[in-house]
């Protein structure tokens, strides 16, 4: 079930934000009235009705409990939680991006280390070959009498 929260908010905002009570009419019928509006005199009873007569007390109690003030408070709380969820979701997406970048950086560092290690080995090999060539040249020169 999808609830049109904006329409519900507009309806709740369009009526007075009073609290409501259940009035027992004494004849198995109930009414929802504005809290504090009941006045009793010797020969009269006056109140501000919210509903016509309701035969089920539980339904009347529910209607009285779910007044516009309560509806707006629930909508505000829901909106606040949704705002938090959206922020949390954006934060988790950012975390995923950072984690992915971190993993990519680790992989690149590992590749760079491997390349540097290979270059170091090649450099050492070239250095060893150069020294060997210099020794060979020196030996040949000493055998042939070149100084």
What residue ranges do the domains of the chain occupy? 5-78, 79-147
pLDDT score recorded for residue 146: 66
CA-to-CA separations, 78 to 5, 6, 45, 82, 119, in angstroms, rounded: 10, 12, 40, 6, 61
Give the confidence band of 122 by pLDDT, cuts at 50, 70, 90: very high
What mean pLDDT comes out for the span 13-31? 86
Measured N-to-C along each axis, helices 68-144 and 5-14 cross at an angle, to the nearest 10 degrees, of 140
Instruction: Return the ∠ at Cα 41 (arms to 39 and 42), rounded to 5°.
Output: 160
DSSP designation for 55: S
The whole-model pTM stands at: 0.58
Residue 18 has pLDDT above 80, yes or no: yes
Confidence band (pLDDT; 50, 70, 90) for 85?
Answer: very high
What six digits make up the tokens of 98?
């950072």
Cα 63 to Cα 13, 41, 68, 134, distances in angstroms: 16, 27, 10, 102
Pick the closest to residue 57 from 35, 34, 25 (CA basis): 25
């Amino acid at each position: 079930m999808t609830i049109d929260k904006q329409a519900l908010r507009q309806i709740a905002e369009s009526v007075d934000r009073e609290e409501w009570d259940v009035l027992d009419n004494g004849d198995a019928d109930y009414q929802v009235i504005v809290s504090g509006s009941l006045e009793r005199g010797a020969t009269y009873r006056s109140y501000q009705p919210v509903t016509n007569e309701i035969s089920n007390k539980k339904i009347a109690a529910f209607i009285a409990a779910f007044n516009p003030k309560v509806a707006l408070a629930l909508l505000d709380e829901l909106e606040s939680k949704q705002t938090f969820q959206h922020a949390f979701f954006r934060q988790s997406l950012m975390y995923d991006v950072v984690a992915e970048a971190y993993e990519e950086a680790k992989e690149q560092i590992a590749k760079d280390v491997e390349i540097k290690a290979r270059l170091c080995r090649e450099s050492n090999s070239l250095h060893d070959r150069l020294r060997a060539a210099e020794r060979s040249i020196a030996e040949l020169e000493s055998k042939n009498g070149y100084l």
